[in-house]
Amino acid sequence: MLTESEALARLATNSPRVPAIRALVDIARVDVLAAGRWPNPRVNWDRQSVAGVTEHYLTVSQPLPITGRRRLDVQAVSALVSASSSRVEDEVRRLRADLRLAFAELLAAQARERELTAARDRLRELSGVLAKREGEGDAAGFDRLRAEREVLDVEADLVVAATERARAQGTLAGFFAAGTDPSQILAVDRPASAPAVPALDALLEQAESTRGDLVAYRHELEAARLAARAAGRSLVPEPEIVVGTKSSTASSGGVGSALTMSGGASGPVVAVHATIPLFDRARPERALAAAQAARAEAGVASLRAVLRGQVAALRDAVLQRRAGADRYRAEAVQSAAQIERIAQVAYDAGERGILELLDAYRLGASARVRQTTLDLGVRQAEIEIEFATGWEIPL
């Protein structure tokens, strides 16, 4: 027996689907490590021999990223990780919304099956009474046969409802850990008063700060700007320091030279290398950064344009479906029981026939089953507007 909040808790703790989605962020974080790593030093040994003189060079070189390009690259990739994290959180919110939809469908399927079962039981009771009256000579055989036929029709509808309930159970079980038996899941409803729907501008403001795709576009725009700055820094040469020693077998008569055991000399080697940006001036990197920035800006503008119409439509759907469900409950469902009672009294008094009584029973069952469909529509609209805007509907 699960309430909606308990189902969401199981999704967060036991379902493998949430870690599978969040793993995408861990993969994106690897790019930060790659952008921030220092270049490895290089060791070089060189031997030169000319005219009986042999020279050995042993040097170590280390590039020094001191222009700030490495720091900007790390910041740009970190912004992309934030964008990926925002999109992942949107996927998790979509997963939670899908679970809520599956839960609502299971609730509706259970309610339909419950109402049809009650209708079948009432008709069976009526058939039993008619059979007893027929045996006593107080009712015609046609009445009993017609009631039994109505039982068969309701039982056929009940089979369809049971199938839909089993399918909804299977869908909901797919959100939980492996080994969950779908047939053992029972959705428990906790009726709560429907909160007032905020104004359209308030919903749009909430969506601006909550929608992961909008937040991701902003992070991608920041990443593109940082990447453009990093590309500009690549025009500044980064030095490579080289230090080491040189030894030679040539006799050295100079003052201050260090003589080796074989009569040669050795001394330090110091050098500085730098790449001159003569041909490669980071044009592709700057063009890529500009294109990514344009794409992010266009994405934000496009999403904002779509969002207003989408949220407005969802808000109207919630209000209209709530009003329709409430009106039907007040006018149709509540009057259905009264119609059944009137038809039963009229039939017992001989004022109405069996067809009128069965029609009243059918009308009542149909109204209660239709009410479950209307309530499901309300819940579906509420869940979709919550996902679209981030407006939290109390459970």
* Distance from C-alpha of 5 to C-alpha of 105, rounded to nearest angstrom: 15
Q: Dihedral angle at the C-alpha atoms of 384, 388, 389, 391, nearest 10 degrees?
A: 30
Q: Which residues contact 50 (CB under 8 A, 6 or more apart)?
A: none
Q: Each residue of 35-49: b (16+ CB within 10 Å) or e?
A: beeeeeeeeeeeeee
By C-alpha distance, which of 268, 263, 266 is closest to 251? 263
For 246, the token pair is: 């040189």
pTM, two decimal places: 0.81
* Phi, psi at 50, each rounded to 5°: -145, 130
Q: Does domain 4-239+274-389 have CATH number 3.30.70.260?
A: no
CA atoms of 47 and 246, how far apart (whole Å): 10
- Residue 219 identity: H
Is-contact 7 175, C-beta < 8 A? yes
For residue 371, the Cα-to-chain-centroid distance in whole angstroms is 30
Spatial distance between the Cα atoms of 347 and 353, rounded to a whole number of angstroms: 6
Helix (H) or strand (E) holding 259: strand 258-259
Residue bearing tokens 């995408």: 24
Q: Decide if 324 contacts 371 (C-beta within 8 A).
A: no
> How far is residue 361's CA from residue 367's CA, in Å, rounded to a whole number?
10
> What does the pLDDT profile of the chain (395 residues) look like in tens digits?
888 888 888 888 888 888 888 898 999 899 999 999 999 999 999 999 888 889 999 999 999 998 889 999 999 999 999 999 999 999 999 999 999 999 999 999 999 999 999 999 988 888 888 888 777 776 678 888 888 898 999 999 999 999 999 999 999 999 888 878 888 899 888 776 778 888 999 999 888 888 889 999 999 999 999 999 999 988 888 899 999 999 988 765 444 444 444 456 889 999 999 988 888 888 999 999 999 999 999 999 999 889 989 999 999 999 999 999 999 998 888 888 888 888 888 887 878 888 888 888 888 899 999 999 999 999 999 999 999 998 877 65
